Structure 1
Amino acid sequence: MKIIEVETIRPQIQSNLVFVRLRTDEGLTGLGEAFFGPKAVEAYIHESAAPILFSMDNANPEHVMMALRPYVGYQGSGAETRGNAAIDLALWDILGKSTGRPLAELFGGPVRDSIRCYNTCGGTQYMTTLTEMSSKNWGLPADATKPNDLEDLDAFLHRPGQLAKDLVAEGFTGMKIWPFDQAAEASNGNDISSDELKAGIKVLSDIREAVGDKIDIMVEMHGLWRRPAATRILKGIAEFQPLWVEDPLRPDAIDALVRLRQSVDMPIAIGETSVGRRGFQPLLAAGIVDYATVDIQWTGGIGEARKIAALADAFAVPLAPHDCTGPVSLAASTHLVMSEMNGFIQEVSRAYLRTWYPQLVTGVPQVVNGILSVPEGPGHGVELREDIDSVGVERQLTKR
């Protein structure tokens, strides 16, 4: 089976996303995606990856990924890694379709039929414009006096108690918030004032006051902090018993993370920006990972994510895949977490699931009462909508 066409599709309603669709000489198609820097990824795919794909007679994912390994760009989630991951997602989709089996079965069979998920509290326009992690990219509503039921970021900043009640009413048992990010931006992560600390703590306090222990709180810190200020934050929020604090420091600051762990006894989730087995291994070996939040796309694709899951399991670390990078990644992550013994929980964004995901694709995993089920159909189950051009897209096609 040979790849004969490589197509990229960039939707206007999410300018940070690029879909990658591969077509085989047997008429099968596979869908992948990459998030952040889509034009750079698109250029890499058509200029560098496509000629290699066309030169190969075997479209097996592992075989192709070996051929696509870059000489430079492999130590981070650069355009090469993200582009290769998008191709890998599409190749696994083709493999599933060629065998008539869903990915979870190809991974050895699901070990569970459903899994708990938590809502990451971004809004409908979260991360839609810039390729940076900053409040300028939060997509907050222009008129905060007219709250939207899905503007969860605005809600956790200004109405955290009500948001928690709404999520509990929908069946969610976990929510992720990032109430300290703006303070990090103000000091470049070096310091947090007493007022800033109190403001962030109040968000957690309001949630606990509204719903008690009915919902787990995950506190995201996006790796924006340096150790002294991060230590103050963790000590300040300890009484509210968050399920975890996520990326309190950059994941490559291993020595500092060890010292942070020694200073504060709090579960740490880490890994969405860690790349591959070699990115995770030193974190796991240092004993600073309580939950592995691998991003199936940013880490290099399905093949690499499966190896990370096994590596995490060897260190008795549960798997909690990241999702804020598109519907294909969510579907593939759901298959992964369903099929791994250490699969613990899957992140979702209800704002995405109810707005731009279904505007672009079909087959997205559905959340019912805070629970995800195994996606149906062969491959990962997600397909571009036939009318996707109606929302505005830019396409590029390269043929063998």
Structure 2
Amino acid sequence: MMLRSCCFRCFGRRNGDGLLWHTDLKPHASGDFSIAVVQANNNLEDQSQVYTSPSATYVGVYDGHGGPEASRFVNRHLFPYLHKFAAEQGGLSPEVIKKAFNATEEDFTRLVKQSLPVKPQIASVGSCCLVGAISDGELYVANLGDSRAVLGRRGFDGEKKSVVAERLSRDHNVSSEDVRREVEALHPDDSPVVVYCRGVWRIKGIIQVSRSIGDIYLKKPEFHRDPILQQYGSYVPMKRPLLSAEPSIVTRKLRPHDLFLIFASDGLWEQISDEEAVQIVSKYPRAGIAKRLVAAALQEAAKKRELRYKDIKKIEKGIRRHFHDDITVIVTYLDHHKSSSSIPSHKQGTLGCITAPVDIFTYNSDEAVENSGDKIFPNEEPGSRVAY
């Protein structure tokens, strides 16, 4: 039985912040997970989803920029490709993941070309992309951009803390010197390719991330010959693609001392460190833990502006972006990865997919947030949609 869609209206709880959505705790085959999203932009540019089955768990965090179109596109298309290619090749692997990322990038590129005459700005829309997958006791973390996956594990002898933060993903952001050098090495005849402006490093003075889905105007030199794009004013001189859609992939066997994973967009990591996030998750109850991390980030954002947390919650979307970014957090606990026989029977049968609302403000305003009509997995059976 296949899942019909991750894109149906989701059953999160409401609270005092009209721009916050969360689910306290849901089961997956290796434990529990919790999600929270807070919106800051006029249109929510963060999208996220978790797919669970008896044999695998997929987590996706997609942080859009320039608009929501790319992150929404990835939210609808990446998991189906992962599922399709894993089925064809007999299981998940780095090659399967790369193939799914590439297929999603190619599909979005086609959409941009088709949409250019009526919506030229779509050429400058992109999305960071962070995916975690657990299958057969193996963890895969793939990312483009600066969303981040952090593992919380028990400290070894000699380590000061009982629970230690271990970063599993690499930030593709030119604020890091090694990433700047990597980009410059790929463009030896195009200097300066990375420019310091407005207090930060940016590629061509435009963008901080060096890898993404989308941002086609920074990847396809031939687009600049299109008179529509030239009229729109997105011309950027380049000799070869400035950004890449090739994901960094980390694989590791899950071990008994691995306790939980935190997947989050950079809106969280701009406010709190890996270590702070891990300590919060280790010290507080599971239910609502993702919301607690979001609250910690909002408290920090408020403190920087000499405000109180409750003041931040009153600021409306759009204006709120001046105080913090969209923030998505997914915490995945790792309880039962030692053997499938230890998984409770009610979790062994878990098949489902949950996706945060496409727009939190709209969702909390009781406006329709319904299935877009896209199927999340191919060859699904009628009536097979599963909701929590």
TM-score normalised by length of structure 1: 0.30
Structure having the higher strand fraction is 2
If the length of structure 2 is used for normalisation, what is the TM-score? 0.31
Structure with bigger helix share is 1
